[in-house]
Every structure is written in structure tokens, then in C-alpha cells.
Structure 1
Amino acid sequence: MTGSSDAGVAPTPETVLARINRAGLDEPLFVAGRARAPSLEQGFLRRDFRCVGATGEEPLRQVRWSGQPVRSDLDMFLAAYLATPDAARGPLLVLSPPGGGKTLLLSTLAARLPPEHFTVIRVPLDAVNPGAPVSAQVHEALWQATNGRVSWPDVGLFDDDGYLVLLVDGVDAAARPGYLSEVAEFQRRESLLGRPVAVIAATDTGLAGRLRGPDGMPVLLLEPFDDERIRLWLDTWNAVNSADIAAGRLNGVGADTAGLPGLGGSPELLTLMTLVLAENGDALPRDGAARYKAVLELMLRRRPAPVIPVEESVRLLGDLAITTFHHGLDTVGEDELTVEPHALRWLMRCPFVSVSAGRSYGLLDSQTADFLVADRLVVTLAGREPFPGLQAMLSHRVLAARPRVLDFVAGLSIGRHDLRAVLRAALAEARGSAPPPPVLAGFATLTANLVLLAVTVGDTADGVAVTDLMPPGADPGWAWRCLVLAWDAGLPRPAWHAIVDRLELIDGHIVERTQEPADDEYRSVAEARLRGETSLATTIERGLDQRGDPGRGMPDTPGAG
């Protein structure tokens, strides 16, 4: 199938295609600016995946991945698949989030499948007429790749032992739900003509929801990078750029120095993060939250041809993070997002966003989601948002249940003591009228979140005085006790317990708790102390200790009196 290489003998179409595909291994993975990008051969990492079979002609949004095992044998799986007759009866579909490595996988397959057994044709649908029949798209892709030297009827006619493989990238560009069934019909006709063709297609997970495929079509979902693959990628990057790193022109990037979990889970994100750290490492903030923010914004700025400004990108990601936080879910449906159509299209193709085939949106990583919630809160407070805006953001879920959000808030608000004045004013407005029972949960959530933020913002270790948060002229101890009792009455038990584990009252100041969370038996002691009922807390603790387990008691803590 490789054809003759003798002088004066024209190469066969199969030889031309093999040369083109093999040359892709030497191409850089991306445009790297001052740095050197690893080649495809150097930088491609084998991926973990899950696999299911599509059912009938139902849209792919019906596919359920939960419960499917994660596999590490992608090479063996694809080799075994291409060796079966089923490969010529219908396509195999590869899914991943945007920037998840589908195109890299197809490029690597094209280059590494042995040309003596396979003739591989890449068909990028965004580069051909997406409305044309499948055979016309293949012909156009061949014409473009070979400068008109190879046409579709000529391929596969020189060696009956060869096997044709089409790699169709960007199936969503075809813009018709039945495209994969058209591919299967194309394969059926080619088999009848004596030229069996295997097809491996790929598209973004979120764009696959409206597609349908033939019954039993294999569907693969590529898994995010794990820590080991991130380490391997960074080792490769440092080796390729070792001369510039040694000369001080670039920073080395190690898994132990990146310190940015959640920003490197996909090939595109890991690439962007590496570039930002290599080029800007010395100039980036050292603090965790400020560093996270700077790297995230630089990564968005480095994305090729951004269609919206970075500031709007961060706002859209923050909108998504806040919406999922409010619902207490990892993802929300498209109808829950109040964004313009162009913004929804951007979210659908953003590598930080995970979009299911059923059009549910969420952040790819929970740490990134927590950071974006914290960033939105700090930006909102710094902008002196009117009370209704804060009320809408803080009346759904208690922040103590997501402690990482508060940790990020603390880092983002260092030195911003003015934010406490905003929170004090908001808390006073929230207390303005006693809520009727149906809205007690919202009142409790809102006031608890305002207090949690007031304790968290700034960089002082002594917390915030009860007298600063309670109404002027009122007994601060009594007012505080009433507020804490409202939390106890209005919040779900996990949220209330999260507050008790996060806050304590010491010498009239509300501070972040430094002790280990109380277990269930001793939580009543921590609850009494948070209310300022020190004598009651001591009495309960002594009673528990006298039951025969004195080592579990909690140390006395002075309260508000």
C-alpha cells in the first residue's frame, strides 16, 4: 500500500496520504510565543476514557455515563475496534469538552496507524462544505490536503489488503441531527462497492445533544487529565524549553510549583496554564487566591481569537458558577442561564465549561467554580452593590457549606477592610423586618452569609466584633443570640452544622474556628458557645464528660456574656 519510491515513479495516493499524516507528528502542538511548543509526537498523552453504545435513533443526550468504568487501554480498544467488521458498518464517536484533546487524538491516530495496513483520511468538517454529502466532503478534504493530487475514487484501488479509515473532526459543523446516520449509509454503500471504510468521528460533548446515530454506535468520552498526566506534560515542556529555562528567559513549571488545581484538567487548559506560568511566573502574585485570579485571566487572554473581552468572559463564568451554587448542583440546564445567545455559544465552546449532551452547563472543575463564586462576591461587595443584589446572591445556600469559597474570599479581600462596612450595612437592612415563616430560610441563609463574609474579608485575625454587626442601641449579646437562633431554626442541618464548624464567639468577637469540628455528641456545646451561652456550654460539656469519656471535652471559651 505504501507504493513505489523509485525515481520517476509517481507515488500512489496511499503513499501521499501516509507522508502527510506522518508529517503531523513533527508539527508543534500550538503557537507558543517566546517558548518552544512540544511537537505532537512529544506532547501527546494517552487518555483515559469511558465507552457506551448508543441506543437506536435516540439523540445522544440520552446517553448516561454514570456507572460506566474508566478505562486506560484506548490504544488497544481502537486497534481491536478497527480489526472488527463492525468498524465498516457505522461510525465510532469520540466526545470531550472543548479543548479536551479530540483533534490531537485524531491527528495522532492518522500518523501512527501503520500505513501498510491502513489508509487514513482526515476530514475536518469546519474546512469543507458542511452541507455537502459525506462523499463530497471526503473528496474536498482530500483535494485540500494533497493540493489536488488525490481524489476519493482513486484511494484504496492499489491494494486489496488495505483498510480505509476516515477521521471526521467537528461533526457538529454539519448542522444536521442525522449526520452520523448519513455516515453509516455512506459506509454501507462503500462496502457494497467492495471498499469497506471505518469512520471515527469527534465532536464537543455539549454539541452532541441533538445528534443521532445508528443503533449500537460506540461512543467514547475522553476523561480529564489526572495528576500523573499533568506531571508528564510539564516534564516534557521543561525538557523542550530547557535551554531557555537555564538562561532565565523562561520559568520552569513543575507540578509542585503550579499550585493551581482545576486549571489544567484538559489539554488546552494545561497548555494555556503552562504558557502563562512559564512567561509570567516571576511577576505573578504569590498568594493563592490572587495568583489563581491572575492566571485565570491570563489564560483567557491567551486563548486564540477570543470573541468576547476577558472581563466579559470572567463575568460569564462567574454567572455560571453563581447559578450552579444557588441550585446546589454541579450543572444547571440551559433555561436556568439568563445570558445572550452569543454568550451561550461562547460558554458552549469554553474549555473551562463542561456541557453535557443534554445541554446542562457547569464548570469543568469544582475548585474553579468555588474561585469564581468568591471572585463574584468580592467584586460585588467592592462595587457597593445595592442590597437587593446581595440578597439575590446570598439567600440560597450557606457559604460555610463550601469552605473553599470563603478561603478564596479571604485571599481576594486582603487589605479590603472597607468591605466590612458594606456587609454591616447589608446586615442591618436584612434585619429590618422579622420575616414570616415561609421566608425564614432565605433570611437565615442571607444573614449567615453576610456574617461569614464579614468575618472572612480583610486580613485581621481577631474577627469582627458583635457590637459592629448588631443594631445600635440594642443589647448586642441578646441580638446576636436571636440571630443565631434564627439560623438554627431556618437552615437545613448540614448548613447549620457547617456554620457551627466554621465560626465561634470569643470575647465578644466572631472569629473563624481554629479547633477541629465538633462531633455529633459535642456539637451542642459548640452551638451554645456560638450563641454566647457560655455557662450552658460548660454545663453540657461537664455532663458529657461525666458519662465516662473525659478526653473528648471541649476547652472552655469565653463568650459574649
Structure 2
Amino acid sequence: MSPDWRSGAYRDVGGTLLDVSKVVGYVDAVKLLGGGSPLVKALDRALGGVLLAATGGGSELAISLFDGKAEAVRLGEWAVTGLRDKIKGYGRYDRTQRLQAAHTIIATSAFFEALDDVGLPFDMRAVALTADERRGLTGAGSTVREVLATEPPLPAPHLDHEHFRAELRSGYLVHAVKLLSFVQGLSVGETLDERRWSALAAALADAAGLRYEDLHRRLVAEVPEFALWTAEQRQRDMGTALARMETVLRSLASDHTPGDVAAMLVRAWTSTLDRPILSEGDVPEDLVIPTLGEGYVDPGFRVRPIDTVASPADESWWAETRERSDLAEFLVSYLTTPAATASPLLVLGQPGAGKSVLTRIVAARLDARDFLPVRVVLREVPAEAEIQDQIEYAVRAATGETLTWPALVRAAGPALPVVLLDGFDELLQATGVAQSDYLNRVAAFQRREADLGRPVAVLVTSRTAVADRAGVPSGTVGIRLEPFREEHVRRWLATWNTANAGSLHRRGLTELDVDVVLRQPALAGQPLLLMMLALYDADTNALRAASADLDESSLYERLLTAFALREVAKTHVAATSAQRAALVEMELLRLSVAAFGMFNRNRQWITADELDADLRALTPAGRAEPAGGFRPPLNQAEKLVGRFFFMQRGQATRGGARLHTYEFLHATFGEYLIARLVMRLLTELAEEEAAASVFGPARCRDGRLHALLSFAPMTNREPILEFLTELAGRGSSDDVRQLPITLHQRLDDRSTDGDVSGYRPTEAPAPDRYAAYSLNLLLLAVALKGEVRASELFPDSPDLAVLWRRHALLWQATLPTASWWAVVFTLQTRVAWHDERRDLTVVLDRGSIPPPVDPYWLYRAPPGHHLRSAGSWQQTRWDGLARQSNLVRDRVNELLLHSMEPMIEQIGDAMTTFVAHDADTAYSIAAALSRFHFAVLLNERRDKLLRAGADAVHAVTRCWTPMVDHRVRSRATRKVLELTPLIKGRVPEEVRIEWIKQLTADSP
């Protein structure tokens, strides 16, 4: 057989066609490595013909289990010895198949070898069989066939090696139990009890594991390539680990020379190593962008199999696995395993994490003798095309040659095709659910190609956030690129500073120091954002000049302004400083509209069509805008937004049309721009409001603010409120701080004059928009002032608490669940009194536990009210609470009611019976009983137990008033008395006796 023979998935082995794409067990593995050898035939005879003919059974096979053990051991030796020569000259995929076969043989042979290691309590050769035993020997034959047919687990670079060992041992234990169960049925087996047999099975499994480790080490020594399959992490010097890929693969590669087209592809990919690593956007002429080969730094990564219950878009799901630093080794290892051709490898990361650059570097580093890399930029190929058509399109774009996929594979010879599909997220964002099955189509393509003898490995890149929007095929392995750590940043900066040392020196600037960069870890962690910081500092050492305590909003303002000014300077060379400032402001306003478009659609990206629609709605054609207002030329919006360094442009092609999407490289850019625009609008509205009041009762027109803030609460993005607080702290006027409260007061009769009716990022009914706007005005007021009273929001309300509750219920009813909980964990209220009316103070508080409930406030009892000296009162029937909960079906209320059900069954009215502790504190009998009950059962400290007991006794002895049902008193008293024996010895005895006296005394 010729090693380069690739006409189909079958191999001619000893006159038998073997489907190597489906090698599973010992039999197929032996055939693949040389099924016609004398040693194999000897083992086959010893096993009764089961090896080569897959037949046999009965007593001959059963007896041959032990007779053939020695032959199996010899075959294991044969599989390892000379394996290097057995795979020499084969291509990448054929070597992988033979390595898998060798592994199957040593894993199976280890089990047979272990029979000599466990110290069996009898001599296998001396086993005597009765006639009845001979008739039952088919069970052993079945066991042998099962051992030989079972495919042992394979080590893999994405799996924990300890997990692999445990899985291997589990398989050995199954075989051991079945084998020994057969022997146990023989006369010799009657000498051992069940416990000894179980211990013997475990010992056999352990011994097989040790034998496997020894054979595995010898296999690695024979073929070092096999070591790549283990998942034991090797910590290396950070360096450029992917550059080592060439060295590793060169030592493993065949002597094949790629054909013309394949060679052209290789040259196309390799040439990118000498090109600047930053391929999009303009950079200053006097700066040097490092080349791809020089400037690429391998990031850390995490790797996990993605099964049906995985959450690859969830940060916490990835946190369950360790971060690794051996990306080069992992990629090499993965591409040499059978898994590479079975399903795609999904590479995830944040915008700017280096996913596309990784595909460029992998394509350039793979050895052409072993691999045929084909990089497919999905934004540049037809989105609706089949996988094969997209590959052929990319090949033509890279080489100018029109070649079918099968012809390309034939030209590659034994090299394994590796297709790099870059930018699945762009395809998904631009085309929607039409591509949600794309990964399954990729896996189907791989299955078809393997069946046809053209196995192919596929790597797909995507942004992490969209990973849950597409079906993921079974067997998919995912890796996520991690943000740079200090060592990555340090190495990247060393390359940058070396490349630009001359330019910086000529302009009297200093190199960028790692400590300066690490002041902004969120930006320094992503390679593309790190480049942005370097470009920003390379202008005037602006980043270095910024004070160490520069707040985040000031940094973002400087960054955005600097890059906007650079863009303006390119096209308005003759503009004055004032004109440039105005143009910069317009650029940032346009970007702010894009940020709001993403925010109001509850996603991190926006399509070009959506952005155009938003800009048209906010800048109606022909309408004169005030100075500095929204007035970008719509036909330039896409170009202008797309060219900014901190914006990532996605693209896909469908039906011949280009579909574009935009996304900020870091979500915080958009969040800052939202806060910036809101503050700008508030400032303008406050000036309009002040000017209008001079000439009469006219009001400011909040149409644009209403349009932007009536679709989603700002709590959906926590940094927005943080930026607003920082911006307000820079000297906002009292008028600006007061304006959100003023606008909130006018909600029910706000003028629609000036409303932007055409701005509809999503479809939302009027109540939902009212709720969102009212909530956002409240959030603005709290962010700008620190705290707001409900009496400021509803100055004319006779009962502020009732009106506040109605608004809160409206927010809860109209907001999505996740948005509502974001509100709950952002705002907190504190009870207050205003002119003997109930009031609330609203604050931003994300961390503290809310204060205890104040019954005086609940029942409208301000300081001096008679209830505070009444001793006790009962105003609500507990069954009314239960019925309300039953009707409303609010989850939180029902959970609280559920936890109280045991007490309700005994003394339900204790929940709504209250006792005044003093003029400032009151509590329900239910609360007092619960606190004492848990203090007793949980063995609380003496001081807590004394306080809880005193409160419980006080509660039940002070509720002797006509306002309280006598049944509540008697049942509550009995419950406290039942607890008193349990605290004997835990509180002073005189205190306990005094409590009992008070509880048993006659009513007053």
C-alpha cells in the first residue's frame, strides 16, 4: 500500500479493506498496524480465531483466554517497538489513525499483562473444568470479545489527565468484574468470598492502570508525537509559543512537498508574518506597527468540551476550569488527535482579544508538509453559501486560482486540511437566526469529508457573547482566550517600544512603561485595546502624563477625544481650533447614538441599517439643528463610525449585499458615551428650562431625552450610573441636578412637543416606555444628587408610600426579569417621615442588606402617634395576606409565605399582631417567636439568646389588649413556654424562672 494513497476512506490491510475512519477496537487496531504479521496470526490462533476472523466461541475460546495471554503481551510489545518505522512516510491523518491504533493495543494489552501482577489466589494453568463448566464457557468468550472490541478512552489535550486515568481505570474494572465473575463460577472460584473477589477486581484494575502507564511511557519514547495528546500542562517561558509550532511540527512532518495551489496558499499565509499586526485603520506616519511575526503574544486560555448543558457565553462556566498558558502546545496537540476531524474547535474571546490574529498566525505557522491551512474570513464570503463554497471562495481570493475543494485536497497529498473559519459572530449578527445552525453544518461537512477519505480539521472563531445563540454539535471543544496578564503586557510593550524607539526619541518622548499601562487593566487586557493605549500615548505621552488618580470617565473622555480629533484632522486640515472642537463633538455625538442603539436593543452591537434608522430619527431631514446638536450626514455615518479604532466592524455577505455591524471593542466605551450624552442633554435642557422661566411658564422640551431613556433602564449597564456620578461630581450646576426630579414631577402631563416619534429601536407599548422613562429619571436624580426623597418625586401625593409602591409595581410588571433584578440590586429605600407623612429616601446601594422592616412606618404611626405607646395592635388578618399572595402569584411573596407556613398553621395572626418595644422599635409576635426559636435550636451565643428570649416574652406578655385576639395570645404563650426547658443551663436560671413567671401570670 502506498502511504500517500487517499482515494477513499478504506485502507488495504492484508487483503482486507478496513474503514480507518471508524477504527474502534483492538481487532481493527491490530489490522491497521499489520494484521498479516506472524505475531498477529499467532495471537489469533491462541484466541480461537476471534482476532482476524471475528469468530469463535464455546469452550475453545474460553480456554484460550489464558493460553493467549502471553501472545497478547507480546503483541503489546510489538505495537510499541518500531512504531516510528510503522508510521514513517504517512501523512498527518494516517499517522493519527495509527497512533490511535497503537494506543488501543497498549491499553488492551495492559489488562492482560496485569493478570500476572495481581497475585491471583490460584494457578490459571491448573484450572480444572467439569462437564457442566465446559457447557457454560461461552460467558468467557463473550468477555474476551468485549475486551477486544471495546475502544479504550483516548487522552486528549482538552481533557484533564487525571480524569482520563479515572475513566481508563473504570473500564478496566468493568472488564475485571466480568472476567472474574466467570472464574468465580468455576470450582476454583468457590474458595473466595464475595469481599475477596471485589478486592481482586479492584486490584486487577489498578494493576492494569500501572501497566498502561509503563506502556504509554515507552510509546512516547518511541514516538514523541504521542506525548502531545496528554493534557498535563507544561509551564513554559511565555515567549511567542506559537512560533514554536513550526519547530514542533517540522520534527513530525512527512517529506511530502505541497502541490502548486497548496504551495501558493502556504506562501500567502506565511507572507503575513512580515506585515503589520494591525491591518485595519490608519496609524500615524511616524509610528511603526510591529509585524505579525514580531508583535503577536500568545494569550492565556481556558479549554472545555461543550456539551448540551454547557454555557459557553457565561463567564462563570469558564471559571470552573483552570487558565492555561500552553496555547501552542494545545493547538499542535489538538490537530494531531482524532477529535480534530470529528467536530469543530470553537475559539471564543472578547472583541479585540486576538481571535482573528490567532487564525493568521496559525495559518502561517502550520507546516505545509503536514497541514494545509485554509483561512476563511466569513465577513468576506457569501453568508448563505455552503461550507465548501465558502472555502473555495476564500482560496480564490487568496491565490487567484479557481479550484474545487476535492481538487485542493488531492493537491495537498497527505497533508491534513485545516480550515480556519474566522468571524462566526459577524455572520450570526448580520444574518440573524438564519445561521444559528452553522456549527452543525460545519460538523456535518467534517463527517462527510471523513467518510469520503478527505478528513478535515476545522477551527471556528466567535465572540464569546454570541456563543449561546447557535447550536453546538456534539463533541465540540471550546477554548476561550483570556485577557492579558502583566507578563503578556510586559512582553507586548517590549516589542512596541523597540519598534518605536527611534520615533519616540526624535520627538522627545519616552517609552511606554508597563506600570503606566496597568493603571487601566480593563483596557490593557485586550491586545487591540492595548494597541489603542500605545497609540494614544505615542502622540504626546498623554497616558504617562495623566495622573495616577485619573478617574475612569476622564480617561475615556481623553481617549475618545484624541482619536476623534485625529480623524477630524485628516479631513479638515484648514479648520480652526474651534471648528475642530465642534467637529469632534459631532463625531462623539454620532458614536453616542450608536451606543444608545446597542443599549436600547439590549445587545452589544448594532447593524448599519439600524444605525442609519436611528440617526434619521434623531436628525430629521431638513430640520435645522442647534449648534453642536445631532446633525451628521447620514451617507457618511457608516464610514465614520466604522473607521474609529475603538469600534469593531463586522461584515457578512448575503445575496451579493454587504451586511455590516458595529461593536465597541470594549463595552465601557459605549457606556461612557451614553452617560456623556445624557449629561450633555441635561445641561442643554437645564439652560432651556432656566431661559423659559424668565419669560413665563414654558417648559423645556425633553423629547430627545425621553426618546433615548424610555426603552431600557440604565441599571442594565452598571457602569453608566458610575460614569454619571463621576461626571456630575465635576461641578454640575444645581439646575442640572434638579432637572430629573422636575421632569419626573411632570410625567403625567409632560408635553409631547419635541418628541422624536420616529426613534423606535424596539417595539414597546406606552406603559412600558412610561415605566422605563420614570425609572431612568429616578436613577438620574439619585446618581446626580446622591439621594432623593419620594416627597420630591411626588410632592402633591397624599400618601407617598402608596404612590411609590404603584410605580415600583409598574417597573416590575413591564421590565424583563433580568432588568428588574438589576434595579432591585441597585436601588435601596430607607423609611423617613415628612411632616408626619410617610416618606422614603432612595439611594444607590448595591452591597448592603436592607434595614429591618419598620412596623410603625407600615401602619402610618409617626413619632408621637398613639400606637407607639399602645403596647400592641392587630390591623390586618393574616389570611388576607395569604389570599392576596394566592391571587397575585408573586414569587417573592409566595416564597416568604411558604417559609412561614408552619407558623401560620399554628398561630397565623401572629404575623399581623405587633408589639411596641419602645417608641422607636416594634415587631410582630411572629418575628419575636421565630427569632427566639432559631436562637434556641441553633445554639446562639448567650447574649443573642437572652435578647431573643426577652423579646419573645415581652411580645406575648404585652399583647393583652382588646385589639388582639385572645387565641393569638394563648398560642404564642404556649410556644414560648415550650422552648424554656431547652434553654436550661444556657441562660441564668433566675432569668429563665422569671420568664416562666411572666408567661404564666394572669392577664392584666
**TM-score normalised by the chain length of structure 2:** 0.38
Q: Distance in 2 between the 1:421 and 1:48 partners?
A: 50
Deviation for aligned residue 1:105? 1.2
- Correspondence 1:240 to 2:488: no
Change (3 A) 1:412 1:447: closer
Matched residue, 1:201: 460
User: Which letter maps to 1:24?
Assistant: T
Kept in 2, the 8 Å contact 1:110–1:122? The answer is yes
1:35 maps to 287
Identity between Structure 1 and Structure 2 (%): 24
What is the distance in 1 between the residues matched to 2:263 and 2:337?
24
C-alpha spacing 1:366/1:523, structure 2 compared with 1 (3 Å):
farther
Question: Are the counterparts in 1 of residues 724 and 784 from structure 2 also a CA contact under 8 Å?
Answer: no
Pairs within 5 Å for 1:133-148: 133-148=386-401
Q: 1:133 to 1:301 in 2, by over 3 A?
A: farther
Matched with 2:724 is 409
Partner of 1:294: 558
Q: Between 237-246 and 308-317, report the one with greater CA deviation.
A: 308-317
- In structure 2, the CA distance between the partners of 1:501 and 1:261, relative to structure 1 (3 Å rule), is farther
| Residue number in structure 2 paired with 1:23 | 271
Of 673, 684, 687, which aligns to 1:383? 684
Superposed, 1:88-487 pairs within 5 Å as: 88-128=341-381, 133-148=386-401, 155=408, 157=410, 161-171=414-424, 177=435, 179-204=438-463, 212=471, 215-218=473-476, 220=478, 222-228=480-486, 229-247=488-506, 248=508, 252=512, 254-257=514-517, 259-282=519-542, 287-288=550-551, 289-298=553-562, 310-321=588-599, 367-368=668-669, 371-384=672-685, 386=701, 408-409=723-724, 411-413=726-728, 416-418=731-733, 420-428=734-742, 430-431=744-745, 449=779, 451-455=781-785
Contact in 1 for aligned 2:355/2:461 (Cα 8 Å): yes
- CA, structure 1 residues 362+217, in 2 after alignment: closer, same or farther (shift >3 Å)? farther
| TM-fit CA distance, 1:12 | 3.8
Change (3 A) 1:251 1:295: farther
TM-superposed CA distance for 1:376, in Å, is: 3.1
Task: Give the CA deviation at 1:295.
Answer: 0.8
Deviation at 1:323, TM superposition (A): 7.4
Q: 1:470 to 1:128 in 2, by over 3 A?
A: closer
Distance 1:245 1:523, change over 3 A: farther
Asked whether the 8 Å contact 2:600–2:711 carries over to 1, the reply is no
Contact 2:347–2:481 (8 Å) recurs in 1: no
Q: Is the 8 A contact 1:116 1:162 kept in 2?
A: yes
- State the alpha-carbon separation in 2 of the partners of residues 133 and 403 from structure 1: 41
CA–CA distance in structure 2, aligned partners of residues 127 and 319 of structure 1? 25
Distance in 2 (alpha carbons) for counterparts of 1:450 and 1:119: 57
In structure 2, relative to structure 1, the CA distance for the partners of 1:345 and 1:101 (3 Å cut) is farther
Change (3 A) 1:428 1:113: closer
Q: Per-residue deviation at 1:381?
A: 1.0
User: What residue number does 1:327 align with?
Assistant: none
Q: Deviations over 1:9-38 (max 9, x none)?
A: x97435444443333222211153332112
Amino acid at match of 1:36: V
Q: CA deviation at 1:104?
A: 0.9
Q: Does the CA-based 8 Å contact 1:260-1:292 persist in structure 2?
A: no
Residue 205 (structure 1) shift: 5.2
**Cα separation, 2, equivalents of 1:323 and 1:125:** 24
CA contact (8 A) 1:54 1:217 kept: yes
Mapped partners of 1:184, 1:394: distance in 2? 43
Query: Are residues 375 and 353 of structure 1, via their aligned partners in 2, closer, same or farther at CA, if it must alter by over 3 Å?
Result: farther
The one-letter code matched in structure 1 to 2:701 is P
Q: Render the CA deviation track for 1:102-145: whole Å, top value 9, x for unaligned.
A: 22111111122233422222233444555555444434433443
1:176-203 alpha-carbon deviations (Å, 9 max, x no partner): 6355455444444443443322222334
Q: 2:457 is paired with a residue of what secondary structure? A: strand
Compared CA separation, residues 302 and 375, structure 1 to 2 (3 A): same
CA distance in 1: counterparts of 2:711 and 2:383, whole angstroms: 45
Q: Which runs of 5+ in 1 are unaligned?
A: 4-9, 56-60, 325-330, 356-360, 457-462, 472-477, 505-512, 528-532, 534-538, 542-547, 549-561
Most deviating of 424-433 and 97-106: 424-433
Change (3 A) 1:382 1:43: same
SS at 2:368's partner residue? coil
Residues 487-509 of structure 1: CA distance to partner in whole angstroms, max 9, x if unpaired? 8998799989978899x9xxxxx
- Runs of 5+ in structure 2 lacking a partner? 1-90, 92-248, 251-256, 571-585, 616-636, 651-661, 686-699, 750-766, 813-820, 833-842, 858-862, 864-918, 922-942, 944-1004
Alpha carbons of structure 1 residues 78 and 494: separation in structure 2 relative to 1, 3 Å = closer
What is the letter of the counterpart of residue 268 of structure 2? I
Q: CA deviation at 1:41?
A: 2.4
Change over 3 Å in CA distance of 1:184–1:389 after alignment to 2: closer
State the alpha-carbon separation in 1 of the partners of residues 649 and 269 from structure 2.
Answer: 31
Cα distance in 2 between the residues matched to 1:311 and 1:209: 32
- Determine the C-alpha separation between the residues in 1 that align with 2:453 and 2:503: 54
Structure 1's 454 and 166: CA in aligned 2 closer, same or farther, altered over 3 A?
A: closer
Q: Relative contact order (alpha carbons < 8 A, sep ≥ 6): 1 or 2 greater?
A: 1
Q: Which residue of 2 aligns with 1:79?
A: 332
- Whether the aligned pair in 2 keeps the contact of 1:235 and 1:254 (CA below 8 Å) is no
- CA 1:141–1:294 in 2, change beyond 3 Å: closer, same or farther? same
For residues 371-421 of structure 1, what are the alpha-carbon distances to aligned partners after superposition, in whole Å with 9 as ceiling and x for unaligned?
A: 344323311212216357667888999999999656533553566554x22
Relative to structure 1, the CA distance from residue 411 to residue 400 in structure 2 (aligned partners, 3 Å threshold; closer, same or farther) is same
Equivalent residue letter for 2:422: D
Structure 1: distance between partners of 2:408 and 2:718: 60
Between Structure 1 and Structure 2, the one with more helix by share is 2
| Aligned CA-pair RMSD | 6.2
Q: In 1, Cα distance between the equivalents of 2:360 and 2:518?
A: 28
TM-score, structure 1 as length reference: 0.62
- Displacement of 1:255: 4.6
Task: Judge conservation of contact 1:169–1:203 (CA < 8 Å) in 2.
Answer: yes
